[in-house]
Structure 1
Amino acid sequence: MIVVTGATGNVGRALVARLVADGRAVRALTRAPETAGLPDKAEVVRFRPDDPAPLLAGATKLFLYVQGAGGRLPELLAAARTAGVRHVVLLSSGIVREGADETHPIHVMHATAERQIRDSGLAWTFLRPNAFATNALQWAPQIRTGDTVRGVFAGMLTAPIHEDDIAAVAERALLDDGHEGAAHRLTGPAATTNTDQIAAIGRAVGRGLTFVEVPPEEAGPLFPGTPPEFLQGLLKNFAATVGVAPEITTTVEEITGRPARTFARWAADHAADFRP
């Protein structure tokens, strides 16, 4: 049995679909099973962070999403070990790297999770993706209602990765030997700017879209629900990418045997998300 936390998130949903298609027994944890919309063959269970033991009964492997642990990661890991889980695959972050700003809140969150997993005594694999292509969904409300997209740092350079490529690597890490103790850095195949991404989405939906840069000090309304300390960290990260070539890895192809998908492919896959 493989337990997947954050099962209705972008990566978790894709991973559940892959594992079910491969005939694996999957227990998908979500806070709202009644609206999860996950494959019928998955065992969809309500996530209760205050009582993790029943969620892990019979499991041998665990896919872990930090925010999906409900703020009780040590308790979840202890329950996993007691239940007989042997291997944890963590969706961490590319911000965890040598020379990183260790005070950055996103770094703190993921580096802390990695340390707690190492200390748990469980075998582990860390997935450290950089920019997610799904971050472009932040522009969907604007694109549904007009052809102008307001955002920060038109020239920031990233190599955004398709969520299903992350899920494909997670699947192999869970099912194949040789991944224990590895920290896999994951990126898309090519650098794109925000302007490039808006153009690609425009092509996917058959419209001409324009990106208009907003000063970072006016960016708050563009990131609703983002805590101020996280927003400042994000903006600092974004600013540091302008005109700087991003890290690009071939890890997706090395592990899955298939090249990472381009942002244009991601935009085509998600065109419906940007249409009215």
Structure 2
Amino acid sequence: MQSCSSAVCILILLFNTFTIVHESFDPPVKVNLHDSATLPCSERCSGSARWTVFSKRSDTLAECDQTSCRSVKEGYQMIHDQYLKGDLSLTITDADFSKKGWYTCDCDGKDVCDVQLQIESLNNPVQIKPTESLVLTLDVSDPVEVIYNSTDAANRSSGQICTVDGPSLQCTPEYTQRVSAALELRGMKPSDSGVYIIKDKRSDEIIRTYTVIVQGDPPDLDRGNGAAVPVWIFVLVVFVLVSVIVVLTVVIRQLKH
């Protein structure tokens, strides 16, 4: 057999390793937020099978043996009848963004399945009036960025406007005074119409999208005295005035007599 150079052999080894690892991964499981998710794994296991998060291998979520199955953490479960038939699938009862990522199933310490859980991004259409506030929801604790793409014909701006990392909020100068720590964008105007994207910086996944239209008249205000006077106060004032007039009329007639 013809020998290969060190560099070529290393490349071949890396390619074969990548191919083996890649083929061992199942396709990602995609579900909507708060739906139930099943991570598939078909493998006969005569010993103990358990699921863990790929990055926390010592933290067991659920496990089965020949006798029974048990949920170590709430919200994760395996079914014993399926386990006996070679179905080691893991069910996540309430999938949210904190649960997305890679999961591993092992049988007696040997990895048999690696499955990625993905949460479908959310699209929120929003229609608000000028001067009202736009509140953007953060669904993850990981660092995120807020990206804005304008749909206003006169305003073609787009790009990152803010980043959030825990309690830290950083925005471009244009938005620094308008955005609060809760990601509330105050004083919306028609030129703010557009698409606002919340993206996870670590996974580069879009978490939530807001399609915003700002139109209509600003909220009505009494320019002189603030809020309009309630009807019941007006009726009460009229009643008091009429009562005073009646009393005065009676007193004047009595004085004349």
**Which TM bucket (shorter chain)?**
under 0.3
Q: Which has the higher contact order (CA 8 A, sep 6+)?
A: 1
TM-score normalised over the length of structure 2: 0.23
TM-score normalised over the length of structure 1: 0.22
Q: Which has the larger radius of gyration?
A: 2
Counting strand residues as a fraction of each chain, which structure ranks higher? 2
Counting helix residues as a fraction of each chain, which structure ranks higher? 1
